[in-house]
Structures are given as C-alpha cells and as structure tokens.
Amino acid sequence: MAGFMNAVSACLVLMLLMAVGYLMGRLGWMAAGEKKFLGKFIINIAVPANCIVGLLNNLDRDNLVQAGVQLASALLGVGATLLLSVGAAALLRLPKRRWGVFVAMAGLSNTLFIGIPVCTQLFGEEAMPFIMIYYLGNTSFLQSVGTILISWSGDREREGGSPARFLWETLTKPPILGVLAAVVLLLLGAELPGPVMRFAKYIGDTVSPLALIYCGFIVYEVGLKNLRLLPGLPAMLVLRLVAAPAVCLVFCRLFGLEGLVRDVFLVESALPVVSQVTVMAGAYGADEEYAATGACLSILGCFVTLPILMLMIGG
C-alpha cells in the first residue's frame, strides 16, 4: 500500500508539472519555438549531465558486468513487446499510414521525458543507472526498428544508410555519449573535479520539471477535446501500459533481476508512448495525428495504471 500511495503522490506531482506546460500553451507563453528549445536543451545538455552524475554517484567498476546482464534483459523485453505489437497490428488490419506508428507506440516506452521524472520521484536518484540501462535498450530499437517501421508507413522517401552509419548516429547521440563518458570514468577509476560535478548536477536537475512541462505542452497542442479512441488505440494502450510490463517481468525473472533494478525496469516498460514517434510520423508522412493522439492518451492512462503497478510490485 505504501508503494501505491507513493505512486499516487508522484503522479499528482507529475500532473501538476504537466499542467504548467499546458497552461503556458493556453496563455500563449509557449509556442513551437519554445518547445523546440526545450527539446534540444533536455536531450543535448540536461540528460547527458544527468547521466554522468547519476552513473558516477550510483555505480562502481564492480557493477559494470551486472549492467551487461541487465541490458540484455531490457533488449529482449523491448524486442518481445515489439513482436507482440506487430502481431496486434496485423490482426487489427490497420491502414498503412497507421501500421508502423501503432507498432512503435505500443512497443517503445518514453524512457527519458517521462521515465526520468517518474522513476526518480518513486525511487530516488539511485534509480538513475538502471533508467539509463533501460534507455539504452529502448533507444536501440527506436533508432532502428522504430524508424524503419514509421518511414515504411509514411509517404515520403527515407534516406538510406549503412549499418555503420546507423551505429555512428546512435553512439553519437548526447545521452549515449553521457553514458559512455561515465562508463569510461568508472573503468579508469577516475573522478570529475568537484565544481564540474556540481555544475552537472545543477543542469541535470532541470530534466524532470522541463521534460514534464514539454509533455504538458504536447497535450495542449493536441487539445483535450480532440482526444478520442481512434481505431487500434485501445489495443495500443493495453499493450503499452499492461502487456509491456508483463513481458518485462518475464525477462527480469529469466535473468534473475530483483529489487530496485527490477522495479525500475517494470516502471520504465509501463510508461507512455515515446515522444519521438510523433516527430518521426510527421517527418516521414505517416499519420501524425494518430501518433499525437495515442501519445497523449497514453500519458493520461499511465496516471491510472502506474499506481496499480506499484501496488502489485509492492514498491
């Protein structure tokens, strides 16, 4: 019951922060330009700083081997969820412009914009290493399978690229660079100077509030009155918010993951649609409205399912 009440309290805080973003949009204080700035700042500056502080403060060299086992569990769990989503999309006989969008929405979790604030609210800063491990597994599929599926559903040509180019683009993303930098420092047994760590912590602490303000503005952009259960979205919500954590639990048990790492993985797997799906849908000419509606409904839905999940795992 304590975990349930903590989740309810955390969800209330998250909703209030999202309400700030919604209100700023409603009052005209925030528009597409501010949204673009927030997205770039969070992904390129704040999240890498958060990665470095969280990993260096909560991991050591001895934990890195176990981190590999945890990453394998995350990769297999996300992959299995994507396969379930492909099967559901085939059964639903969705139109081409929605097919790949549906699979990406159902199979991939919002591990950064929602994941970091939710997990740190529920479990504290010691959850950061496990958040980033799950993020590595999730983003690997987003940048490969997710991109291919959404571009296939669109009516615009996708630029080709070799596997080497894909690997380079993935590894040079700022959050990944932050993780890699922290891992190198851990392997070397090195520490960053005190002022640098304090600077990184100040910057990293902005991730949670700004990410939720960003999500609140997305809800404003779609419009609450426009939120409706389009064909396929009820099934997507069940897959994203219910089936995904069930699959994750299976792989946690197979790999012997218990305690905090298991709880963080379960919460990360049960979060709303990843924000980039809507962006990709618009870029490739897939059904952007379908993606935005699904993303918003999943955000609102997780405020119901997350406390129930915390009650079930006894967190």
Two structure tokens written together for 241: 């918010």
pLDDT at 282: 74
pLDDT at 157: 57
**DSSP tag of 111:** T
Average pLDDT, the chain: 84
Length of the chain: 315
Distance CA 101, CA 257 (A): 31
User: What mean pLDDT is predicted for residues 289-300?
Assistant: 86
- In CATH, the architecture of 2-313 is Up-down Bundle (1.20)
Q: Reply yes or no on whether the pLDDT at 87 is more than 90.
A: yes
CA dihedral 101, 107, 111, 112 (to 10 degrees): -10
pLDDT at 251: 96
CB 284 within 8 A of CB 270: no
By mean pLDDT, which of 73-77, 127-131, 154-158, 231-235 is the weakest? 154-158
What percent of the chain clears pLDDT 90, i.e. is strictly above it?
Answer: 27
Q: Reply yes or no on whether the pLDDT at 65 is more than 80.
A: no
What residues does 273 pair with on adjacent strands?
109
User: What mean pLDDT is predicted for residues 105-113?
Assistant: 88
Domain regions of the chain by residue span: 2-313
CB 78 within 8 A of CB 141: yes
Residues whose CB falls within 8 Å of the CB of residue 207, separated by 6 or more in sequence, listed in order: 42, 46, 47, 50, 112, 116, 117
Distance CA 93, CA 120 (A): 39
By mean pLDDT, which of 33-47, 125-139, 166-180, 247-261 is the weakest? 166-180
For the full predicted model, state whether its pTM sits above 0.85: no
Distance CA 113, CA 209 (A): 9
Distance CA 274, CA 291 (A): 10
